[in-house]
Amino acid sequence: MTSELTLSVNGAKHQVSVAPETPLLFVLRNELKLTGPHLGCGMAQCGACAVLLDGEEVRTCITPVSFAMGKQIITIEGLPAVWAEKKGLSQADAAKTLHPIQQAWIDEQVPQCGYCQSGMIIAAANLLARNPNPTVVQIKDAFTNTPPSPHLCRCGTYAAIIDAVQRAAKAMNA
Amino acid sequence: MTANTENGNDSPMTTTITRRGFVKIGGALFVSLYVPGNFPLASAAEGQTSLDPTLLASWLEIRSDNTIVMRTGRTETGTGMSAYYAQAIAEELDVRPETVSLILGDTDRTPDGGYSAGFLTGMSNVRKVAAYTHRALLGLAATQLAVPVAGLSVTDGIVSGGGKNISYGKLVEGQHLELKIPVEGKQAKPDPTGWVGMTSLDGFTVTGDPPMKAVSEFKVIGTSYPVPSIADKVAGKTRWSCDVTLPGMLHARMVRPATLGSTLVSVGKLDQKQFPAAEVVTKGNLVAVVSPNEWEAISAARVVATGTKWTDWQGLLGSENLTKMLREYQWGAPAESKGNADEVKAALAGGGKTISASYEQPYVRHAPIGPFVAVADVRNDGSATVWTHSAQSQGLRARLAFVLGVPVEKVVVRWLEHSGQYGRTTLGGDGAEGDAVILSQLTGKPVRVQWTMQEDMAWSSVSPGWVSDVQGAFDANGHLTAVHTALYSPHMFDPRPLGALLAGMPCATSKPGNWIATEWHYEKIQRLEEVYGMPNLAAESANGGLRGNIMRTPGQRQQNFALEGLINEAAAAAKADPVQFRIAHTTDQRLIDILNSTAKAAGWETRPSPHRGARKTGTGAMTGRGVCIMVRSNAYWVGVAEVAVIPATGKVQVTKFTIGAECGKIINPRQLDRCMKSGVAMGLSEALKEEVTFDKQKVTSTNWSRYQILTMEEMPEIKVVQVSRDDKGFGGGSEAANAIVPPAVAAAIFDATGVQPRRIPLTPAYVSRLLKG
C-alpha cells in the first residue's frame, strides 16, 4: 500500500507516494531521479548505495524510506551545497563549486569504472566529519571496519582513495 | 608542425569539397548531430542502424566551434581508454585533447566495432583516422589560404601560413569532405558453427600508412591528460546504463533455478491483490516478474520465487572436487602447442637434474560491484533497441539478432557506462540483455532487467579453474635448458546468452578450446607449451553447468602463475638469486632493464630463496620477498612482493608490493600509475582471497561474505616504477598488473617459510595446512 511521505533530500522537501517499506535507494533513484547512489549488493555488503542520513552514513538498499522521514538526506548530488553553506558562498559561487572531497576525487583521478565511488565519497564525508585529519591507517580502518560492511571497489582504486581522502582533508582544513 | 599531405596516386583517399551541407548521420562530416547529456532515444525502428566505416563522416566530425567528435565502437571499461583515445586524436590533429569528445560503443553511431579490450587496435584506428583527416585539412587550408602545404603549421586547431590563419571549424564550415577511410575486416555476425559462435568480433581495422607524428614530436601523448568522464562521475551527473528509463517501461526481476541443469516444474502464484500491477512472464525456463514499479517487481518476484518449483539437478561436482575431476578428465590432444617438442622431451629424459611441479587455480569471478542491468525495446516490426554496458556492442548486437531471429540491421545496441566488466562481456555474451529482449518481445513493452548481486554471482559466467603441470631440465651449471608446461582448463569462451538458453531460443554455441597466452621471454630455455581445453564444467549433463568466460589478463594470468612458479622453484633448486636467475636465462634487454630497475626500487637483496632464517612453524611473523615477470602486448612487467606470514595461523599479509612496467611509450603516466596500483589490488585479491565455490546443485559463493575480495585495510604500500621508451611503440599498460601478483606473493611465502605454495587463493586455512604438511 502506498503512502504519501515527505522527505528532506539535499536541502529540499519532496512529496513521494510509495510503499513505506520501499528501500530508500529506489525512492531516490526512481521517484526523485537522484541516481548518484547505486544498487550494488542489495544487502548492505558493499557500500555503493550509501548516503548521509543526519550526517551518518546509511546503506539505502536496506533502509526503508519510512526510516528516513524527518531526517536530512544528503546524496553526492547534494555535497556541493553542503560545502557552499559551510563556507557561506553566494548562490552564484555555490553553483560552480564542488565539495573538496569530490574535487580531490577528480584531482587524484580516483574512479575507474566509478560505480562504487558515490558510496566511497559518502564514506569519506562521514570520516572527515568525525576526524578532520585521518592517518592512512585510520582511513583504511574507516573504509574497512565501519559497520555494516567494508566499502568494496572491484577496480581496486583503494590507493587512489587514500590519496584523495588526504588531499580532501588538507583542502577542508585550509 | 607541418605534414606532407600531397596526395600521391596510390593514396587511398581523395579530397574533394562539395556543398552538400547538412546531411543526415553518416554523411554529415562537419555538422554536429550530437547532443551531449541527453539520452539517445532513437531506436532501431527509426532509421539507419549502422555506419559505413569507409566514410570519414562515420568516424569524425569537426564542429564549427572547432571541437571534434570521434566515434568508435570500443568503450571505456574503466582503465582510462577514453583519455588515451582523446590524446591520440589530439596529437595527430594538433588540437587540445579537451576539444575532443567521443561517442563510444553505440552500434548505430560508431563505425568499427571491435573488442573494448583491444585498446592498441582501437587507438591505432582513431589515430589513423585523425592522421588522414589532418592531411586532408591541410590540403583544404592550402587552397583556402593560397599557401602551399609545406608552408602551413597547426596549433590548437588553427592552421597558419603566409601570415594568414584559419580554424578547422571555419575551414570546413558548411562543407563536406569526401574522404575514404581504408579499412579491412567485417561486421560481427553469428556463426553457429564457429569457435565462439560469432565471426569478426575484432570489427574493422583502419589500414594504410598516413603520415603520423614521430614520438619525438608528441605534445599530448605522454602527458597526464585527465580521464574525461571522472568529473561527472563524482558529481552524480553521469547517466549510467542503470539509469535508462523509457516511457511505458516495465521493471523486471528474474526468478531463476539453481543452475542451468534444473528445469521448470511450476511457477509460483502471484497474488494480484497484493501486487496489482505485477505480472509473471515465462518462456521455457525463463521466469520473470514485471511491474511498472521497481519495488513491486522486486517484492512480487520474491514471493513468486518462493512458490516456483524446479527439477532437482545435481550434476555439478562440488568445487572441492575440481582438481580431482580435472585430473581424471580424458584430455586427448592439446588444443594448441608451441615450442620444440623433440628437444624438450630429450632434455627432460636426458638423465640430468630435473624439476617438476603442479599448480592449481580455482574458478574465479569478474564480480563487479554493480550487477548486470539492461533495457530493451523490441517492437512488432522485429526491431530491437538495447541499452547496455557490454564491452562488445557489435558482438552483442549480432548475438541478440540471432536469438530474436532477425537480421542484425534490425538491432541497435546503445552503450552507457556502468560497473566494470573485467572481460566478462568481451566476446559479446550477455548479462541481462538476453532476458530484456525476450521479455520486451513477450510483453510488447520496453523492459528493464536488473539482476541482483546474488543472481549475478550465481549466473554470470565464471573464469575457469586450471591445473598446470610443469617440468624443467637443468644443465651441469644449474641453468634451465628446457621447460615443458601442460595447462588444463574447462571451457573459457562461452558467451551464449543466458536468457536465450533458459527460454530455449537460438544460441550460437561456442566450441571448447584453449590457447597459449604466454609470450616466451626466456629464450635461452627451449620450451614446449601445451594447452588443453574441455567443455563447460558439467556440460555433459542436462543442459550444461557453469558457463566459462575468462577474466582480466586472460590466459597469461593463469599460465604465468605456473611458469613463473617453476622459474622461482628452479632458481631455489639452483641456489640462485631469483632476479639473477631470470637475467641469466634471457638476452632481452628490455626485460633485463625493467627487472633491474624494479628490483632496485624494491631494495632487493641479491641472495637465493628461501631466506636463511625461513621457518614454517611458530606464532611469530616470518618475512620474505618474491619476484615474477611477465611480457604481454609489447609491455614488460615485474612484481616484487614482500610478505609477513604467521605460520601458526597461516595468515599472510602483503606488506609492500613494488611493480615495474615498461610498455613502450607511456601515453598517460598518472592513469598508468592508477591502473598499476589498482591492478595490484585485484591481483592481491586473486592471490589471497578469491574462489568461486559450488556444490552439486549450484554456485554457493553468491554474496560478498562468501566471495571475498580485497578490502582497503589489506592494501600494502605500493611502489610504482614506470619506464617510458620512445623507440618501441605502444604497449598494453592498463590491464595486466593483476597477473604478476600471485606468483610474486607465492614466491615471497616460499622465501619466508621454505614451503612453495602451488595453489591460490592463499587463505589462512590453505597456508596453515600447507605449512603443517
pLDDT given at position B13: 29
pLDDT given at position B544: 63
CA distance B289 to A161: 39
Higher pLDDT, B15 or B435: B435
SS (H, E, C) B174-206: CCEECCECCEEECCCEECCCCCCCEECCCCEEE
Total count of residues recorded for chain A: 174
- Considering only CB atoms, A38 lies closest to which of B242, B681, B685, namely B242
B512 band by pLDDT with thresholds 50, 70 and 90: confident
The verdict on residue B437 lying in a domain is: yes
Q: What is the CA radius of gyration of chain B?
A: 28
The average pLDDT across B235-247 equals 96
User: Across the beta sheet with B68-72, what order do the strands follow?
Assistant: B60-62, B68-72, B100-104
**CB distance B425 to B552 below 8 Å:** no
**Lowest-pLDDT range of A164-168, B113-117, B381-385, B585-589:** B113-117
Same domain, B217 and B158: yes
Q: How far is B220 from chain A (nearest CA, A)?
A: 18
Q: What is the pLDDT of residues B637-692, one digit of tens each?
A: 999 999 999 999 999 999 999 999 999 999 999 999 999 999 999 999 999 999 99
Give the pTM.
0.94
Last residue of a domain, one of B194, B216, B237: B237
Q: Across chain B, what does the average pLDDT equal?
A: 92
pLDDT given at position B44: 67
Alpha-carbon distance values, B153 to B62, B87, B95, B193 (Å) = 18, 19, 12, 53
- Dihedral sign for Cα B312, B314, B316, B321, please: positive
Eight-class DSSP state of B549: B
CA distance B394 to B110: 10
**Whether pLDDT at B256 is above 50:** yes
Q: What is the pLDDT along chain A (174 residues), one digit of tens a residue?
A: 799 999 999 999 999 999 999 999 999 999 999 999 999 999 999 999 999 999 999 999 999 999 999 999 999 999 999 999 999 998 888 888 999 999 999 999 999 999 999 999 999 999 999 999 999 999 999 999 999 999 999 999 999 999 999 999 999 999
pLDDT given at position A95: 84
Reported as half-sphere exposure (CB side, CA atoms, 13 A), residue B22 has a value of: 4
Chain B residues with CB inside 8 Å of A65's CB?
Answer: none
Angle between helices A158-173 and B669-688 in degrees, nearest 10? 120
Secondary structure of residue B1 in the 3-state scheme: coil
The verdict on residue B530 lying in a domain is: no
- Determine what percent of chain B is predicted with pLDDT higher than 90: 85
Amino acid at B524: K
Q: How far is A54 from chain B (nearest CA, A)?
A: 20
Q: Does B701 touch chain A (CB under 8 A)?
A: no
The verdict on residue B341 lying in a domain is: no
B23 band by pLDDT with thresholds 50, 70 and 90: very low
CA distance A19 to A5: 9
The verdict on residue B63 lying in a domain is: yes
pLDDT given at position B678: 98
CA distance B118 to B84: 13
Cell of B381: 516490426
Please return the burial class of B272, using the count of CB atoms within 10 Å of its CB with bins 0-12, 13-18 and 19+.
Answer: exposed
Q: Does B431 touch chain A (CB under 8 A)?
A: no
**CB distance B407 to B475 below 8 Å:** no
Q: Which CATH class name applies to A3-75?
A: alpha beta
Q: How far is B162 from chain A (nearest CA, A)?
A: 41
Eight-class DSSP state of B388: E
Chain A, 110 to 139: residues with Cβ < 8 Å from chain B are 110-118, 121, 139
Q: What is the CA radius of gyration of chain A?
A: 16
Last residue of a domain, one of B219, B237, B255: B237
The verdict on residue B22 lying in a domain is: yes
CA distance B56 to B49: 17
Same domain, B201 and B177: yes
The verdict on residue B329 lying in a domain is: no
Last residue of a domain, one of B177, B212, B237: B237
Q: What element of type H or E holds A6?
A: strand A3-9
- Determine what percent of chain A is predicted with pLDDT higher than 90: 95
Same domain, B224 and B308: no
Angle between helices A158-173 and A136-145 in degrees, nearest 10? 120
Same domain, B272 and B297: yes
pLDDT given at position B226: 97
**CB distance B548 to B366 below 8 Å:** no
Chain B, 664 to 683: residues with Cβ < 8 Å from chain A are 670-671, 674-675, 677-682
Same domain, B154 and B272: no
Same domain, B154 and B274: no
Cell of B286: 525463463
CA distance A49 to A123: 11
Chain A residues with CB inside 8 Å of B369's CB?
Answer: 38, 40-41, 46, 48, 115-116, 152-154
Q: Does B333 touch chain A (CB under 8 A)?
A: no
CA distance B39 to B650: 52
CA distance B766 to B652: 11
- CA torsion B31-B34-B40-B46 (nearest 10°) is 0
Q: What is the pLDDT of residues B308-321, one digit of tens each?
A: 999 999 999 999 99
**Whether pLDDT at B79 is above 60:** yes
Give residues with Cβ within 8 angstroms of B579, minimum separation 6: B595, B596, B599, B604, B606, B627
Question: Which chain A residue is nearest to residue B76, measuring alpha carbons?
Answer: A113
**Lowest-pLDDT range of B13-27, B210-224, B406-420, B530-544:** B13-27
Nearest to B70 by CA among B104, B23, B120, B21: B104
**Lowest-pLDDT range of B390-394, B508-512, B514-518, B709-713:** B508-512
pLDDT given at position B543: 57
CA distance B265 to B258: 13
Amino acid at A78: G
Size of interface A-B (CB pairs under 8 A): 178
Cell of B118: 583491444
Please return the burial class of B655, using the count of CB atoms within 10 Å of its CB with bins 0-12, 13-18 and 19+.
Answer: middle
Instruction: Tell me the DSSP string of B223-258.
Output: S-PPPTTHHHHHHT----GGG---TTPEEEEEE--S
Alpha-carbon distance values, B639 to B556, B586, B629, B660, B677 (Å) = 14, 17, 6, 6, 11
ipTM of the complex: 0.98
Secondary structure of residue B144 in the 3-state scheme: helix
pLDDT given at position B27: 31
Q: Does A168 touch chain B (CB under 8 A)?
A: no
CB count, 10 Å around CB of B32? 15
Give residues with Cβ within 8 angstroms of B302, minimum separation 6: none
Q: What is the pLDDT of residues B264-294, one digit of tens each?
A: 999 999 999 999 999 999 999 999 999 999 9
B28 band by pLDDT with thresholds 50, 70 and 90: very low
CA distance B265 to B537: 24
**CB distance B745 to B673 below 8 Å:** no
Give residues with Cβ within 8 angstroms of B642, minimum separation 6: B602, B623, B624, B625, B654, B655, B656, B657, B716, B748
CB count, 10 Å around CB of B300? 27
CB count, 10 Å around CB of B188? 27
CATH topology of domain A77-173: DNA polymerase; domain 1 (1.10.150)
The verdict on residue B11 lying in a domain is: no
**Lowest-pLDDT range of A21-35, B12-26, B127-141:** B12-26
CA distance B756 to B747: 7
Amino acid at A92: A
Q: Is A70 left (phi over 0), alpha (psi -120 to 50) or beta?
A: left
Q: Where are the domains of chain A?
A: 3-75, 77-173
**Whether pLDDT at B509 is above 80:** no
Secondary structure of residue A23 in the 3-state scheme: strand
**Whether pLDDT at B552 is above 60:** yes
The average pLDDT across B329-334 equals 94
Alpha-carbon distance values, B250 to A36, A60, B208, B301, B527 (Å) = 22, 22, 48, 13, 57
Give residues with Cβ within 8 angstroms of B558, minimum separation 6: B361, B466, B468, B487, B489, B517, B550
Whether omega before B276 lies within 30 degrees of 0, making that bond cis, reads no
Q: What is the pLDDT of residues B116-129, one digit of tens each?
A: 888 889 999 999 99
**Whether pLDDT at B559 is above 90:** yes
**CB distance B354 to B474 below 8 Å:** yes
Question: Which chain A residue is nearest to residue B369, measuring alpha carbons?
Answer: A40
Domain range for B677 is 564-772
CA distance B108 to B203: 14
CA B1 to chain centre: 36
Angle between helices B669-688 and B741-753 in degrees, nearest 10? 50
Eight-class DSSP state of A105: H
Higher pLDDT, B173 or B407: B407
pLDDT given at position B14: 28
Chain B, 367 to 426: residues with Cβ < 8 Å from chain A are 367-371, 417-420, 422
The verdict on residue B354 lying in a domain is: no
Please return the burial class of B550, using the count of CB atoms within 10 Å of its CB with bins 0-12, 13-18 and 19+.
Answer: buried
pLDDT given at position A101: 98
Same domain, B154 and B259: no
Q: Does B118 touch chain A (CB under 8 A)?
A: no
Same domain, B227 and B265: no
CATH number of the domain within which B39 lies: 3.30.365.10
Secondary structure of residue B16 in the 3-state scheme: coil
Question: Which chain B residue is nearest to residue A145, measuring alpha carbons?
Answer: B713
**CB distance B716 to B657 below 8 Å:** yes
* CB-CB under 8 Å, B715 with A40: no
The domain tally of chain B equals: 3
Give residues with Cβ within 8 angstroms of B650, minimum separation 6: B763, B764, B765, B766, B767, B768, B769, B770, B771
Phi first, then psi: give them for residue B325, nearest 5 degrees: -65, -40
Angle between helices A117-130 and A158-173 in degrees, nearest 10? 40
